Chain A
Amino acid sequence: MEQKQKKVIVSLKDIFLRYDGEVILNNISLDIHEKEFVTILGPSGCGKTTTLRIIGGFVEPESGEVIFDGKRINGLPPHKRNVNTVFQKYSLFPHLNVFDNVAFGLKLKKLPKQEIKEKVLKMLAIVDLKGYEKRSVSKLSGGQQQRVAIARALVCDPAIILLDEPLGALDLKLRKSMQLELKEIQQQTEKTFIYVTHDQEEALTMSDRVVVMNNGSIEQIGTPEEVYNEPVNAFVADFIGEANILNGTMIGDCRVRILGKELECVDKGFGTDTPVDVVIRPEDLIITKPEDGQLTGVVETVTFKGVHYEMSVRAGKCEILVHSTKSAGLGSTVGLRVIPFNIQIMNKLLPISSNTIETTVTYADEAGRYFEFELEGETLTVKDKYIPQGSKVRIHLPFNALSITGSGEGDLKDVYIESVIYKGEQNEIILESDTRKWLMLSDTDEQVATYVPLWFDFKKASFEVIASPDAKEGDL
């Protein structure tokens, strides 16, 4: 895997794209090498398909450069790009048979008939569809249609094949075998494959490198081993594989405190007393006698998964997932150990201790004891609190003062759920409104990449007046 020596074939530089005012891609940069199998992985709505369509020429970025083989290809229409796509829903031509579907690109190149025939038949043999030439594409199974789509793209001999969730519509078993087949075809044909999926297992199985995206940004680029073993943040850790993600505090180099216990780890350079996210994979936890454990807990559930048992251990308030080939008794108290190397320390996704709003009071009623201020175009009212009109105030909202589960329009109408990460006790949810991000805790599972109304409970807030209306800024 000597990727570094390989030539960069396509390169995205600071790609920025908005659609209907929403930022779809936020300054994405990515280099893809020759003969590489790169997977762009992320939840739906993260911008991965758009990234692929930019390389294919179907979408033009608002700013940024698409470099292909050293040349800038912004604005070049799809039919002039040396790139072919395998579309999500196959997109085979229903009026053509298997042979003519595969031959479509070659016929446009005006190759001699005999050559077209040879190439198509050879390609159909590669995708295991020998003898299917005359079949109507609508009479093929999903897996066969998928193979025709792959053959149709490959036969044109492009430098890059783009694949947009090509296995999404297939059943699990077929998907598994197609994954291996795709990888085989890629190695056999020595093409660059750029593959888009939301299936982390698929990404780990097939790729040379994985690009993890969320909410229009690239979170991490690395080999499957790297993104699994050394996720850069809680989002990547949560998205790829199963993980216990816990709140911790870095006491100093190689010392971390989680669940009230100080543990040894191998990460350095986080400073002292820094809040961090800690990842421990369920398979890295070792069950011991209670007195030998670094942590102790009560076994709450035991599920047999074939290769291993999946157990949920409650340590204090926190639920910890453990995978082990030996089961522990339900309800028994056990100890848990983890070797320092398997504790992965990451910076917090949103390193804040509370949600702070800095604003000016737009209206205040001393008798009614309330005041109003404006936030992203909405007028919000704080009851049971009087702060004179014109005061500059800092409002600290603790994480539990935010909620997205009420009825009606909310204090802020449509906030975007950027990530939901289970921290053993509660979900830590990062929300994005028009101008900023918010962090909240919730017991309910929310759907990432959806829009929800957001409420503030100002009873739980603390207020800090930073300038009274008499001060100079008060007139503003």
Chain B
Amino acid sequence: MKSRKLSIPYIAWMVVFTMIPIVMIGLTAFRDKAGNFSLEPFAKAYDYRFVFLKSLWIALISTVICLILAYPLAYLLAKMKKSTQKTVQMLIMVPMWMNFLLRIYAWKILLQDSGPLDTALSLLGIHGSYIGNTAAVVVGMVYEYLPFMVLPIFTVMSKIDNNLIEAAQDLGSNGAAVFKKVIFPLSIPGVISGITMVFVPTASTFLVAEHLGGKDDTMIGDIIDKIFLTDPNTGSAISLILMVFILVFLILMNLFGDEEAIA
């Protein structure tokens, strides 16, 4: 009984700041401007289907790149001495102490025409534009969300019982076999939570594409940001669709995760 009483503040918080807003978005999404029931917001949302797909595409690429970068890093990190581990973990976290927008501005300056990257590459005789395209958006996303991929994988990996690794060696596994048969399968839960923690926010984020991307790189988060003040109904409808997509994605990830744990 005691534990139930303790949970009251959290339940109240969830109701006020999570449940009610979701219900309100749901209600708003099914109304026209006059406040009558209508599917019009969804019809308008349909106009943004390509933006929507592009957002998911950018989120997918960013997540995959994050995973490719983060997995070996997390693996090395888990193998380091405790003292080195702390330092490296700090270094991974430090950029996150800075404001999100500032980090994006920093990239904007780095990538802009005649910026440091452009200048350096020009000296080598390579000319080009590095901002205002999808790649720049992906770079920004990867930079923003890499720690969210590294940390869960690292946490899971560092919890792998060293005895299991010794047991695998004892049974005849060399280094590669230990990784393939023990470390990798046991790190899957970390990979799944990493993917979730990167994919979900990248799919719905805003400002990154606006600052680093070109005209065609507008993401759904930016659309919601723009449209909500003038047309909350359509904004709500897009949000709702995004939410459903993310929900489906999470369910799929969970299914995948459970299967991995059993197999």
List chain A positions with a Cβ less than 8 A from chain B. Answer: 56-58, 77-79, 83-85, 87-89, 91-95, 104-105, 108-109, 136, 152-153, 156
Q: Is the CB of A94 within 8 A of B163?
A: no
Segment at the A interface, from B42-50, B118-126, B181-189, B219-227: B181-189
A93-B169 contact given A79-B174, A104-B181, A108-B177, CB 8 Å threshold: no
B170 contacts across to A, CB distance below 8 A = 56, 78-79, 83-85, 153
Whether a CB of chain A sits under 8 angstroms from the CB of B262 is yes
Sample of 4 further A-B pairs with CB below 8 A, known A91-B166, A94-B186: A79-B172, A79-B173, A91-B164, A156-B171
A78-B262 contact given A105-B171, A109-B172, A156-B171, CB 8 Å threshold: no
**Complex Cα gap A85–B169 (Å):** 10
Q: Is the CB of B169 within 8 A of A79?
A: yes
**Chain A CB within 10 Å, residue with most, of B163, B174, B182, B261:** B163
**Chain A CB within 10 Å, residue with most, of B168, B260, B262:** B168
A91 contacts across to B, CB distance below 8 A = 161, 163-164, 166-167
Digit string of B220-263 for contact with A (CB within 8 Å is 1, else 0)? 00000000000000000000000000000000000000001111
20 pairs of residues in contact across A and B, judged by CB atoms under 8 Å: A77-B169, A77-B174, A79-B173, A84-B170, A85-B167, A85-B170, A87-B163, A88-B163, A91-B161, A91-B164, A91-B167, A93-B181, A94-B164, A95-B186, A105-B171, A108-B171, A108-B172, A136-B262, A152-B171, A156-B172
Q: Is the CB of B166 within 8 A of A78?
A: yes
Q: Is the CB of B169 within 8 A of A95?
A: no
Task: State which residues 150-179 of B face A: CB under 8 Å.
Answer: 161, 163-164, 166-174, 177
Q: Is the CB of A104 within 8 A of B163?
A: no
**Complex Cα gap A130–B260 (Å):** 25
List chain B positions with a Cβ less than 8 A from chain A. Answer: 161, 163-164, 166-174, 177, 181-182, 185-186, 260-263
Nearest B residue to A77 via CB reads B169
Q: Is the CB of B171 within 8 A of A84?
A: yes
Nearest A residue to B160 via CB reads A94
Q: Is the CB of B166 within 8 A of A87?
A: yes
**Complex Cα gap A152–B171 (Å):** 8
Nearest CB of A to B179, in Å: 13
**Complex Cα gap A88–B167 (Å):** 11
Nearest CB of B to A412, in Å: 29
Nearest B residue to A136 via CB reads B262
Nearest B residue to A107 via CB reads B181
Nearest A residue to B262 via CB reads A136
**Complex Cα gap A72–B186 (Å):** 35
Nearest A residue to B162 via CB reads A91
A105 contacts across to B, CB distance below 8 A = 171-172
A56 contacts across to B, CB distance below 8 A = 170
B182 contacts across to A, CB distance below 8 A = 93
B261 contacts across to A, CB distance below 8 A = 95
B164 contacts across to A, CB distance below 8 A = 91, 93-94
Q: Is the CB of A104 within 8 A of B185?
A: no
**Complex Cα gap A56–B170 (Å):** 7
Nearest B residue to A94 via CB reads B186
**Complex Cα gap A108–B163 (Å):** 18
Q: Is the CB of A108 within 8 A of B186?
A: no
Nearest CB of B to A115, in Å: 16
Q: Is the CB of A89 within 8 A of B171?
A: no
Nearest B residue to A149 via CB reads B167
**Complex Cα gap A95–B262 (Å):** 6
**Complex Cα gap A136–B169 (Å):** 22
B163 contacts across to A, CB distance below 8 A = 87-89, 91
**Complex Cα gap A78–B182 (Å):** 16
**Complex Cα gap A254–B262 (Å):** 69
A108-B167 contact given A93-B182, A95-B185, A136-B262, CB 8 Å threshold: no
**Complex Cα gap A136–B261 (Å):** 10
Q: Is the CB of A108 within 8 A of B173?
A: yes
**Complex Cα gap A306–B164 (Å):** 43
A78-B169 contact given A93-B164, A104-B181, CB 8 Å threshold: yes
Nearest CB of A to B162, in Å: 9
| 9 closest residue pairs by CB, A with B | A105-B171, A91-B163, A91-B167, A78-B169, A108-B172, A95-B185, A85-B170, A79-B172, A79-B169
**Complex Cα gap A104–B164 (Å):** 12
Nearest B residue to A87 via CB reads B163
A104-B168 contact given A79-B173, A79-B174, A91-B161, CB 8 Å threshold: yes
**Complex Cα gap A99–B61 (Å):** 38
**Complex Cα gap A88–B166 (Å):** 12
**Complex Cα gap A92–B182 (Å):** 11
A77 contacts across to B, CB distance below 8 A = 169, 174
A57 contacts across to B, CB distance below 8 A = 169
Nearest CB of A to B65, in Å: 27
Nearest CB of A to B11, in Å: 32
**Chain B CB within 10 Å, residue with most, of A58, A93, A95, A152:** A95
Nearest CB of A to B89, in Å: 25
**Complex Cα gap A84–B169 (Å):** 10
**Complex Cα gap A92–B168 (Å):** 10
